[in-house]
Every structure is written in C-alpha cells, then in structure tokens.
C-alpha cells in the first residue's frame, strides 16, 4: 500500500481549516494547527511534506513561522505554501524572502489548489531522491578512500618482490590495478558530491592550447597501448579564465572515454578554436558511436548506456563534465553516428575576470 504524503494546515480560522480538509481528504494525511506556535510544536512528530499556512494569525504570523521552520535543516525540503486574502506584490515577495515556496491567494479554486499541491509534492520527491544520491556519493567516497589507499600501497610494494612466483605477481598486479580503478571512481564520486553541494570555482587565466596539450600528453601511454593516435589542433592560443583544476579533469574524462571506445588503429582528435566571445573545444573519436536513444541522458550520473560494457565510471565522468561546464556558464553536447564515433563539444564564454560572477552550485 502506497504511503500517503502529509499536509499540515495552519490557520486560526476553523472554517478555513475545514475547507482545506474537505479539499485534500482521502488524498493526503492531514493535521491542523490553529497558530504558528502550535505548528512548530507539531512539525517534529508529524513531519509534513507540505504546509499550507495562513499569514494573518495572532502570535507568530505566517511569515515568522515560515522563517523559523526554514531555520532548521531538517525541514529544508518541506514545501511551504502561504495562504492569504492579501495579494499585494510586496507581501508575496516577503513570503519568498522568508523561505515560502509559493503564495496562494484567497479565495482559491479547489481544483487549481489541488493541482498546485500535487506539483510541489512531486518536486519534493525529486529533490529527496537527488539529496539521497548526493549523500550516498559523499558517504561512499569518505568511507572507501582510506582502505583503498592501503590496498593500493601494499599491493604495489608486494609487486616489487622478485622472490614471489610469477602467478602471484600477476595476481597482485591485478589487485593493484583494480584498486586504482576503484579509487579513481571514489575520487569522481567525491568531486561530483562537492560540486552538487555548492563548491565554488576558482578562476585563473590560462592558455587553452597549453592545458589541452598537457591533458592529452598524460593519456598518450594509454592511447599507445590501444594503438590509438591522439592529436591536438589549436592554431590560435586562446586565453581563458576558468577553474582549471576542474576543467582539466573534464577534458581528461572526455579524452579517457574517447581513447577507451576507439578502435585499434584509429585516431582521437582534440581541437580548440575561438568564435567571437566563445571558446569551442571538440574531442572526436572514431569508435562504435552512441545509440541515439541514449544521447539525451548520457550526462546523467546514474545513466548507463550498456550495463555489460559500462566501465570505469563513465557515467560519473560525464555528469561531472556537464556540472563543471555549466558552472562556467558554458554548454556541453555530443553528436554521434553508430559505427563512426562521437564528437563531444564544450563551449565556454571568454570574459574578463571582473565580468565573471562568483558561481557555485547552491
């Protein structure tokens, strides 16, 4: 049986409470409070998903009650709709300032109010799922980083022991490489969690050409092992103010995927050019390509194209890429043809430092 969502009705007028109870009965679990003080005493035990609250009440009014609720992190996802017979713009703005999600003017249409409440219930569920994902990523990264470091260090030391049998050394090498891959996944999970939690970017000017060459050179050995030729085409040296720590990671992730899914003997090309006030970076591979059905969701962190061939945190890599690029006020997209490869395109604005806002994910 599906659990009903909970609505707390806060109003000092018994007739208004009865009206709202008739509108929402049989759809939600309801509880009523006749004052702001009573609402604050009920919220901890009732844990409402949504609060319908009158503004004009004796004692704590709706604005004050809303502000007190928002001061508690436990109720940051609880939706609050202020209900009032007043509809002046300054009153609505005051409601938003104290943390209300919306403002409902009396008299209201019952069907419209039901629809509005349902929208906010859905929004709360989406936000809860997103919060759970972020918390899981953060917890996973925190709890696994230290033990993985120990496994990697010990395995690396043991592989240097020439007295061990060849088969044992091969197994130790596998343990080491597997632990390193998992550690890299943990680092990606940690970075994505930090980005979603409000990490601020640190902008410094840098040469796109130099950064692209450096990121590419770091992957040449992996490309050589796959017999993949990697080249850089950046005829114009573009100066770009960016958070290069995160942007280098993004370019590296895209290059890693390009090399990984390229056919032996093929090429990966990294290109950069300036188009007026935009810098365009393209990374093209000639691998198997991406099924069109997955193009729209490929940048979602929990989207996996092919579970049997998904490797080394590709989903997190592209989710991080999208997050970082959008924090730079840019865009990232991919085009692909099955059997012919894919082109990832990153477009970033070229602006002066004093024109760039301080951006975080909050």
- Tell me how many domains the chain contains: 3
CA distance 138 to 201: 19
> Cβ distance 312 to 184 under 8 Å?
yes
| Lookup: tokens for 235 | 């005829």
Tell me the per-residue pLDDT of 191-205, one tens digit each, with 9 for 90 and over: 887 887 778 889 999
- Is residue 186 domain-shared with residue 220, that is, in the same domain? no
Last residue of a domain, one of 108, 141, 156: 108
- Look at residue 188 in the predicted model and tell me its pLDDT: 85
- Is residue 276 domain-shared with residue 219, that is, in the same domain? yes
CATH number for 345: 3.30.565.10
Beta-bridge mates of residue 239: 207
| Lookup: tokens for 237 | 């040296």
Low-confidence residues in the chain, pLDDT < 50: 1, 305-313, 357-362
- Is residue 304 domain-shared with residue 246, that is, in the same domain? yes
Residue 117 lies in a domain: no
Phi-psi region of 287 (alpha: psi -120 to 50; beta: other; left: phi over 0): beta
Residue 46 lies in a domain: yes
- Look at residue 302 in the predicted model and tell me its pLDDT: 59
- Is residue 140 domain-shared with residue 164, that is, in the same domain? yes
Residue 118 lies in a domain: no
- Is residue 100 domain-shared with residue 174, that is, in the same domain? no
- Is residue 173 domain-shared with residue 313, that is, in the same domain? no
> What order of strands is seen across the sheet that includes strand 267-275?
229-233, 267-275, 278-285, 341-349, 331-337
- Is residue 38 domain-shared with residue 179, that is, in the same domain? no
- Look at residue 360 in the predicted model and tell me its pLDDT: 44
Last residue of a domain, one of 76, 108, 140: 108
- Is residue 214 domain-shared with residue 336, that is, in the same domain? yes
The three-point CA angle 355-359-360 to 5° equals 175
- Look at residue 273 in the predicted model and tell me its pLDDT: 94
- Is residue 181 domain-shared with residue 223, that is, in the same domain? no
Radius of gyration in angstroms for the set of CA atoms belonging to the chain, rounded to a whole number: 27
- Look at residue 121 in the predicted model and tell me its pLDDT: 94
* Owning domain of residue 211: 204-355
Residue 1 lies in a domain: no
- Is residue 45 domain-shared with residue 144, that is, in the same domain? no
Question: Nearest to residue 320, comparing CAs of 194, 201, 141?
Answer: 194
- Is residue 179 domain-shared with residue 310, that is, in the same domain? no
Last residue of a domain, one of 176, 196, 216: 196
- Is residue 247 domain-shared with residue 333, that is, in the same domain? yes
> Cβ distance 336 to 288 under 8 Å?
no
CATH number for 17: 3.40.50.2300
- Look at residue 30 in the predicted model and tell me its pLDDT: 96
């Amino acid at each position: 049986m599906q659990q009903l969502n909970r609505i707390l009705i806060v109003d000092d007028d018994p007739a208004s409470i009865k009206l709202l109870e008739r509108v929402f009965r049989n759809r939600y679990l309801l509880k009523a409070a006749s004052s702001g003080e009573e609402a604050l005493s009920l919220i901890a035990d009732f844990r409402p998903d949504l609060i319908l609250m009158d503004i004009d009440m004796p004692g704590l009014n709706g604005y004050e009650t809303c502000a007190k609720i928002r001061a508690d992190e436990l109720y940051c996802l609880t939706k609050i709709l202020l209900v009032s017979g007043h509809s002046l713009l300054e009153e609505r703005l005051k409601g938003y300032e104290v943390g209300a999600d919306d403002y409902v003017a009396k008299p209201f249409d019952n069907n419209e109010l039901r629809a509005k409440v349902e929208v906010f219930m859905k929004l709360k569920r989406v936000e809860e799922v997103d919060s759970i994902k972020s918390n899981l990523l953060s917890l996973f990264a925190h709890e696994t980083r230290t033990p993985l470091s120990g496994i990697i260090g010990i395995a690396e030391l043991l592989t240097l022991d020439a007295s061990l049998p060849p088969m044992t050394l091969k197994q130790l090498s596998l343990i080491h490489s597997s632990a390193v891959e998992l550690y890299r996944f943990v680092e990606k999970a940690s970075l994505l969690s930090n980005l979603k939690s409000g990490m601020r970017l640190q902008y410094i000017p840098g040469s796109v050409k130099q950064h692209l060459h450096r990121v590419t050179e770091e992957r040449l050995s992996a490309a050589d092992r796959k017999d993949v030729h990697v080249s850089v085409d950046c005829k114009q040296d573009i100066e770009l103010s960016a958070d290069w720590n995160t942007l280098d990671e993004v370019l590296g992730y895209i290059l890693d995927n390009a090399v990984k899914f390229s056919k032996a003997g093929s090429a990966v090309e990294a290109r950069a050019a300036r188009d007026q006030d935009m810098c365009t970076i393209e990374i093209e591979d000639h691998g198997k390509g991406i099924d069109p059905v997955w193009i729209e969701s490929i940048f979602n962190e929990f989207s996996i194209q092919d579970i049997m061939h998904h490797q080394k945190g590709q989903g997190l890599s592209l989710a991080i890429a999208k997050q970082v690029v959008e924090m730079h006020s840019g865009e990232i997209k991919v085009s692909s043809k099955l059997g012919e490869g894919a082109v990832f395109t990153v477009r970033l604005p070229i602006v002066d430092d004093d024109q760039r806002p301080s951006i975080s994910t909050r």
